[in-house]
Amino acid sequence: MHRFSGAVLLCLLSAAGLAADDGPYFRLFLKDGSSLVSFGEMARVDDRVVFSMPTSVATSNPDLHLVTIPADRVDWEKTTGYAESARASRYLSTRAESDYALLTGAIAQAVNDVALTSDVAERLAIVQKARKVLAEWPSTHFGFKQDEIYQMLGTLDEAIAELRAATGAQQFDLALVAATPAPPEREPLMPAPTLRESIEQTLVAARLTPSPEERTSLLTVAVATLDREAASLPPAWVASTRRTANTEIARERRLDRAYQALSDRFTSLAARRARDANVRGVERLLARVDAQDAVLGRARPDALKSLLTSIEQQLDAARRLRLERDRWAMRLPELRRYRVAIRSAIARLAALKPSLEDIKALAGSSHGTLEELENAARQVMRSLSIIPAPDEYRDAHALLASAAQLASTAAGIRREAVLASNMARAWDASSAAAGAIMLTARAQAEIQGRLRPPQLPR
């Protein structure tokens, strides 16, 4: 390695760099042979491609519009090749020189380390590491300075051979560079679109996008550009293109109104029929919606999907309500028998309300009234204890029992309050009386409600 010339390597590293150019836009090539410009790289999401399309010809800060098109309309082989060319062009015009400078600096440092190292094996390790870095560099940097890199590799291979010989190695397994591979062929880059091409591409994107909102927005942008730049474009082409775009905008808006009306009408119908538990009626709406969609050209798949989902939800609600009503109809005789059985108990509790209101208001209650109240409440509790409550009325039955218990408690506490002249206990009695009145009313409402057919919540 003492004969290895660092000056030769440093001379190789001083080759001139490439001139920088502005990086190109990306392009999506369509299967029909046309293309769309993308400002920056596009993103493929499931079956869609999303990208930012310039809608103006400004070289700096162009107007951009987010565009979504079906992925199956794209020629992916050509688009991918062009993207690689665009990346290479951008890299070569921006970072290539600085990255190459970092590489040459690292190699120069390796040369310096070799010169300062006396151990032959350590020198060999340094040179081999430098060679590995050089060998991998072109493939990860778009082939920049590839010829110079391979010249340096040849020099390093000679140095490695000398160092191996110096270590006494008998076999050299050299990776000599015999020839420089040809740089990869890339798709030729296309110039930025002209104003007319930009407008035409906006219209093409409008026809391709599956989103009605995006379509109308792109058409509106195209018309605005035509109006703004009419003086610099062929008058006949401007008139024809504007007329076509405005016709398409009007059509999109008519379709928007038609599908909104369709959605409003059938959503309302489905909800009404679901409230009636009309399962067959809701089912028929699905077929009618499909027929109406066909008449409109199936132009709004997303809107239709949302409408169908809403109707399906109402269909599910109708089926559930139908099941509940069928069960209610089967159980109605038993529910009516229970109501007859507890009619006397409810009437007794209702009759206690005036006395309970007096206790609640601290308006005064005679000894006889309180005794009658307690006795009546106990009778209600006894009768409720022997009446079996259907599952539907179990909660209401418990409310009635609690109401009777509170009524008895209110009478007892009121008596204590009077005998002790204790205002605090009088208020306790008032609270118990209020609870008895409230629970009686709730139980009556629940019992009455169970006798009506089940309804959908509003």
Last residue within a domain, chosen from 169, 192, 215: 192
Counted domains in the chain: 2
**Boundary (domain end) residue, out of 162, 192, 222:** 192
Residues 297-317 have a mean pLDDT of 96
Q: At residue 455, does pLDDT exceed 50? A: yes
Whole-number Å distance between alpha carbons of 26 and 83:
6
- Cβ count within 10 A of residue 152: 25
In a domain, 281, yes or no: no
**Percent with pLDDT over 90 in the chain:** 64
Examine residue 131 and state whether it is found in any structural domain, yes or no: yes
Is 287 part of any domain?
no
**316 occurs within a structural domain:** no
Task: Give the integer Cα–Cα distance in Å for 208 and 51.
Answer: 13
Res. 397: pLDDT tops 90: yes
Q: Predicted confidence band at 108 (pLDDT cuts at 50, 70, 90)?
A: confident
More confidently predicted of 46 and 165: 46
| Mean pLDDT rounded to a whole number for the chain | 87
Q: Is the dihedral of CA 149, 150, 154, 157 positive or negative?
A: positive
Identify whether 61 is part of a domain: no
Residue 19 has pLDDT above 70, yes or no: no
Cα(21)–Cα(435) distance, integer angstroms: 87
> What confidence score (pLDDT) does residue 173 get?
52
Q: What are 335-364's pLDDT values in tens digits? A: 999 999 999 999 999 999 999 999 999 998
pTM of the model: 0.67
Give the DSSP per-residue string, 98-116. Answer: HHHHHHHHHHHHHHHHHHT
Domain containing 2 equals 1-30+75-192
Residue-wise pLDDT for 149-197, tens only, equals: 888 887 787 778 877 777 766 555 544 444 445 556 777 888 888 999 9
Rounded to the nearest angstrom, the gap between the alpha carbon of residue 443 and the centroid of all alpha carbons in its chain is 46
264 assigned to some structural domain? no
* 51 domain residue, yes or no: no
In-domain check, residue 241: no
Comparing 107 with 18, the larger pLDDT belongs to: 107
Q: Domain end: 175, 192, 209, which one?
A: 192
